[in-house]
Structures are given as C-alpha cells and as structure tokens.
Amino acid sequence: MNSENILMERKTPKVVSINIVRGCELSDTARATEGISRDDLVEIRVERNSPAESKITRLGKNQSPTMRFRDALEKEGFSGKKII
C-alpha cells in the first residue's frame, strides 16, 4: 500500500456507533448545550477518523431514524434485497 492510499484510508470516516435516544435521556448539560428538549429525538454518532467528540443531531421532521437507516442501506447496496 503506497503512502497516498494509507493517507486516504486514514481519512475515511467509519461509523463506530449510532444511538438514537429521547432528549429526556440526555444530561441536563447536554440538553442545554445543544438546545434539545426532553421530547426531541436525538442521534448520537461516533465516527473513527473523525473528531473524537460525538456528533449529536436533533432529528426533526422528515429525519426519522428509519429514514436515515433506509438511506444507509441504500448507500451500501442493501436496499430492496433480503439481508440474509
């Protein structure tokens, strides 16, 4: 593997975990910092080769968790097929 490939591999973000929670499950500090209400749905995403801090996204209208999952399946070529 040449140095360019190594550099590209290092820079490609990889999703390590996704946790979808309600605002009420976050700490008071996190809710206040991110402007999230107790009823909001929130996605907490951790990526490798990305800044270490978790990415917290409030899911609004037309951003339901399953729509995001469908997009991920489509991007990875699984959409419209049985998984196993």
Partner 1 sequence: MEDKCVFIVDEEILNRFSLLESNGQEYYGGENAQLFFEYLSYRKCNKKAFMIPSIYKKIIKVLTINDGESLAYFKNWVREGDIGESPDTTEEQDTISLFNTLAVLHEQVFIVSDKYDGNSNFKNIPILTIEKLDKYLRDKKDFMKYIQNIFYGDNY
**Under the rule (CB under 8 A), what is the footprint of partner 1?**
12-22, 24-25, 41, 45, 61-62, 64-66, 68-70, 72-76, 78-84
Least distance CB 1 / partner 1 (angstroms): 18
Least distance CB 38 / partner 1 (angstroms): 10
Least distance CB 76 / partner 1 (angstroms): 5
Residues forming beta bridges with residue 59, ordered by sequence position: 41
